[in-house]
Structure 1
Amino acid sequence: MNERASTGAGAPHVAVVGAGWAGLAAAVEATQLGARVHVFEMAPGVGGRARDVAAGPVALDNGQHIAIGAYTETLRLMRTVGVAEAEAFVRQPLALVGADGKGLRLPPGHPLPAFVRGVLAQRGWSLRERLALLAAAARWAANRFACAPSLSVSSLTAGLPVRVQAELIEPLCVAALNTPAHQASAAVFLRVIRDALFAGAGSSDLLLPKVGLGAAFPEPAARWLRSAGATLSTHQRVTALRQVADGWQVDAATFDGVIVAASASEAARLLVGIDSAWSRQAGSLAYEPIVTVYATSAGTRLPAPMLALAAGAERPAQFVFDRGQLGGPAGMLAFVVSGAGEWLARGIDECVAATLEQAAAELGAHMRTPLEVVRVITEKRATFRCTPGLQRPAGRVADRLQVSGDYVAGPYPATLEGAVRSGVEAARQLARELGLPGCKSR
Structure 2
Amino acid sequence: MSRPEPLKPAYNFTSVSEPVILSQGTVEVSLDGTGYPGTADLLLQFIPNPRLIFHANVQGGKRSPLAFAFNEPVDESLSFNGQMVDGFSGARKANMDPVTRELDWHPEFEPVVLCDMQSKNSTSAIYHLFNFPDFHGGQYQHTAPAGCPLLVLTSEEWTFSVQALPDGATREAWKRIKAEGICRLTHMVKLERNDGKPFSGEEAGEQCHLLDNFLAFIKGGWCTAVCGVGLAEDGEKTWTTFASPRTSNPPYSWFTPSKASQAERLFPMFASRWQQSDEWRECLRAVIYWYIQANTSGHSPSIDTAIILAQVALERLAYHYVVVDRKMLSGKGFDDLWASDRLRMLFSLCGIPNEITNVVPGICKANDGFNKSSKWLDGAHAIVDIRNSLVHPVSKKDVRDCYVDAWRLSLWYLELSVLALCGYDGTYTNRLTATYTSDSESVPWGQKA
Q: What TM-score, normalized by structure 2, do the two folds share?
A: 0.21
Which entry has the higher C-alpha Rg, 1 or 2? 2
Task: Return the structure number with greater relative CO, CA threshold 8 A, min gap 6.
Answer: 1
